Amino acid sequence: MASEQMAEGQEGTVSLPPARPLDAIDQDILRMLQADGRASIRSVAERVHVSRANAYARINRLVEDGVIRGFGARVDHERAGHGTSAYITLKIVQNTWRTVREQLRRLPGASHIALVGGDFDVLLLVHAPDNRALRELVLTRLQAIPEVQSTRTLLVFEEEDLEPQG
Protein backbone atom coordinates (compact mmCIF):
# COMPACT_ATOMS: atom_id res chain seq x y z
CA MET A 1 0.00 0.00 0.00
CA ALA A 2 2.88 2.38 0.62
CA SER A 3 3.82 2.61 -3.06
CA GLU A 4 0.22 3.38 -3.98
CA GLN A 5 0.02 6.08 -1.33
CA MET A 6 3.30 7.68 -2.43
CA ALA A 7 2.30 7.66 -6.10
CA GLU A 8 -1.02 9.28 -5.39
CA GLY A 9 0.31 12.81 -5.82
CA GLN A 10 1.54 11.89 -9.29
CA GLU A 11 -1.76 10.75 -10.80
CA GLY A 12 -4.31 13.40 -11.73
CA THR A 13 -4.31 15.23 -8.42
CA VAL A 14 -3.75 18.95 -8.15
CA SER A 15 -0.08 19.72 -7.58
CA LEU A 16 0.49 22.07 -4.67
CA PRO A 17 3.61 24.16 -4.13
CA PRO A 18 6.11 22.67 -1.69
CA ALA A 19 5.36 23.29 1.97
CA ARG A 20 7.05 26.33 3.42
CA PRO A 21 7.40 27.31 7.05
CA LEU A 22 4.68 29.54 8.47
CA ASP A 23 5.72 32.67 10.31
CA ALA A 24 4.13 33.81 13.56
CA ILE A 25 1.58 36.00 11.75
CA ASP A 26 0.44 33.12 9.52
CA GLN A 27 0.09 30.90 12.59
CA ASP A 28 -1.94 33.58 14.38
CA ILE A 29 -4.20 33.93 11.33
CA LEU A 30 -4.74 30.17 11.24
CA ARG A 31 -5.66 30.07 14.93
CA MET A 32 -8.13 32.92 14.44
CA LEU A 33 -9.79 31.29 11.44
CA GLN A 34 -9.96 27.93 13.20
CA ALA A 35 -11.76 29.58 16.10
CA ASP A 36 -14.03 31.65 13.83
CA GLY A 37 -14.04 30.83 10.13
CA ARG A 38 -16.33 33.81 9.55
CA ALA A 39 -13.87 36.37 10.93
CA SER A 40 -13.65 39.39 8.64
CA ILE A 41 -10.42 40.38 6.93
CA ARG A 42 -10.55 43.61 8.92
CA SER A 43 -10.77 41.86 12.28
CA VAL A 44 -8.00 39.42 11.30
CA ALA A 45 -5.77 42.31 10.21
CA GLU A 46 -6.40 44.22 13.43
CA ARG A 47 -5.70 41.20 15.66
CA VAL A 48 -2.41 40.31 13.95
CA HIS A 49 -1.35 43.95 13.44
CA VAL A 50 -1.06 44.00 9.64
CA SER A 51 -2.89 45.91 6.93
CA ARG A 52 -6.11 44.50 5.45
CA ALA A 53 -4.32 44.01 2.13
CA ASN A 54 -1.57 42.04 3.86
CA ALA A 55 -4.07 39.89 5.77
CA TYR A 56 -6.03 39.25 2.57
CA ALA A 57 -2.86 38.27 0.68
CA ARG A 58 -1.73 35.97 3.49
CA ILE A 59 -5.09 34.19 3.69
CA ASN A 60 -5.15 33.77 -0.10
CA ARG A 61 -1.63 32.33 -0.03
CA LEU A 62 -2.58 29.92 2.75
CA VAL A 63 -5.53 28.76 0.64
CA GLU A 64 -3.50 28.51 -2.58
CA ASP A 65 -0.71 26.61 -0.79
CA GLY A 66 -3.25 24.11 0.53
CA VAL A 67 -2.65 25.00 4.17
CA ILE A 68 -6.28 26.11 4.48
CA ARG A 69 -8.39 23.43 2.80
CA GLY A 70 -11.71 25.16 3.27
CA PHE A 71 -13.99 26.96 5.67
CA GLY A 72 -16.82 25.19 7.44
CA ALA A 73 -19.00 24.81 10.48
CA ARG A 74 -18.28 22.60 13.48
CA VAL A 75 -21.40 20.51 13.87
CA ASP A 76 -22.86 19.07 17.06
CA HIS A 77 -23.82 15.75 15.50
CA GLU A 78 -26.18 14.77 18.30
CA ARG A 79 -28.17 18.01 17.99
CA ALA A 80 -28.17 17.54 14.21
CA GLY A 81 -29.97 14.20 14.58
CA HIS A 82 -26.94 11.90 14.44
CA GLY A 83 -26.69 10.83 18.07
CA THR A 84 -24.70 7.65 17.45
CA SER A 85 -21.02 7.89 16.57
CA ALA A 86 -18.47 5.14 16.02
CA TYR A 87 -14.92 4.61 14.92
CA ILE A 88 -14.72 1.65 12.61
CA THR A 89 -11.44 -0.08 11.88
CA LEU A 90 -11.10 -1.86 8.56
CA LYS A 91 -8.64 -4.37 7.21
CA ILE A 92 -8.53 -4.08 3.44
CA VAL A 93 -6.96 -5.95 0.56
CA GLN A 94 -3.43 -4.66 -0.02
CA ASN A 95 -3.11 -1.91 -2.66
CA THR A 96 -6.83 -1.06 -2.68
CA TRP A 97 -6.71 2.12 -0.57
CA ARG A 98 -7.86 4.49 -3.34
CA THR A 99 -10.76 2.27 -4.35
CA VAL A 100 -11.89 1.77 -0.76
CA ARG A 101 -11.48 5.45 0.07
CA GLU A 102 -13.78 6.47 -2.80
CA GLN A 103 -16.45 4.05 -1.61
CA LEU A 104 -16.14 5.20 2.01
CA ARG A 105 -16.50 8.85 0.96
CA ARG A 106 -19.99 8.01 -0.33
CA LEU A 107 -21.18 6.44 2.92
CA PRO A 108 -23.87 8.40 4.73
CA GLY A 109 -22.48 9.89 7.92
CA ALA A 110 -18.79 9.26 7.15
CA SER A 111 -16.86 12.22 8.51
CA HIS A 112 -13.21 11.15 8.67
CA ILE A 113 -11.21 8.52 6.81
CA ALA A 114 -7.55 7.72 7.51
CA LEU A 115 -5.08 5.21 6.10
CA VAL A 116 -3.08 4.03 9.11
CA GLY A 117 -0.36 1.59 10.04
CA GLY A 118 -0.75 -1.12 12.66
CA ASP A 119 -3.26 -3.87 13.31
CA PHE A 120 -5.72 -2.45 10.78
CA ASP A 121 -5.47 -0.38 7.61
CA VAL A 122 -8.25 2.21 7.74
CA LEU A 123 -9.87 4.20 10.53
CA LEU A 124 -13.34 5.53 9.70
CA LEU A 125 -15.42 7.90 11.84
CA VAL A 126 -19.16 7.80 11.21
CA HIS A 127 -22.18 9.56 12.68
CA ALA A 128 -25.59 7.89 12.41
CA PRO A 129 -29.08 8.74 13.63
CA ASP A 130 -29.21 5.68 15.91
CA ASN A 131 -27.76 2.21 16.54
CA ARG A 132 -30.04 0.61 13.96
CA ALA A 133 -28.69 2.91 11.22
CA LEU A 134 -25.13 2.25 12.40
CA ARG A 135 -25.77 -1.50 12.29
CA GLU A 136 -27.12 -1.22 8.75
CA LEU A 137 -24.12 0.83 7.68
CA VAL A 138 -21.61 -1.68 9.07
CA LEU A 139 -23.33 -4.97 8.24
CA THR A 140 -24.82 -4.00 4.89
CA ARG A 141 -22.82 -1.17 3.36
CA LEU A 142 -19.28 -1.79 4.63
CA GLN A 143 -19.41 -5.57 4.38
CA ALA A 144 -20.60 -5.21 0.76
CA ILE A 145 -17.32 -3.56 -0.27
CA PRO A 146 -15.31 -6.45 -1.77
CA GLU A 147 -11.93 -5.02 -0.73
CA VAL A 148 -12.94 -4.87 2.96
CA GLN A 149 -11.70 -8.02 4.68
CA SER A 150 -12.90 -7.26 8.21
CA THR A 151 -14.24 -4.50 10.42
CA ARG A 152 -14.34 -3.71 14.12
CA THR A 153 -16.73 -1.09 15.48
CA LEU A 154 -15.88 1.09 18.47
CA LEU A 155 -18.95 2.89 19.77
CA VAL A 156 -18.33 6.46 20.94
CA PHE A 157 -19.99 7.20 24.29
CA GLU A 158 -19.00 10.86 24.45
CA GLU A 159 -16.97 13.11 22.18
CA GLU A 160 -15.64 16.62 22.12
CA ASP A 161 -13.99 18.61 19.35
CA LEU A 162 -10.91 20.31 20.69
CA GLU A 163 -10.91 24.05 20.28
CA PRO A 164 -7.87 25.60 18.61
CA GLN A 165 -5.25 26.90 21.00
CA GLY A 166 -5.57 30.67 21.05
- pLDDT per residue as tens digits for the range 78-135: 888 889 999 999 999 999 999 999 999 999 999 999 999 999 999 999 999 999 999 9
Percentage above 90 pLDDT, the chain: 71
Q: Are residues 67 and 96 in the same domain?
A: no
CATH code of residue 89 = 3.30.70.920
1 pLDDT band (50/70/90 cuts)? very low
Q: Are residues 145 and 90 in the same domain?
A: yes
What pTM did the predictor assign?
A: 0.72
- DSSP secondary structure string for all residues of 90-123: EEE-TT-HHHHHHHHHTSTTEEEEEE--SS-SEE
Q: Is pLDDT of 166 > 90?
A: no
**Residue-level pLDDT at 100:** 97
Q: Are residues 98 and 150 in the same domain?
A: yes
Does 66 map to a domain?
yes
d(CA 68, CA 160): 22
Contact 65, 16 (CB under 8 A): yes
Q: How many separate domains does the chain show?
A: 2
The whole domain housing 52 covers 24-73
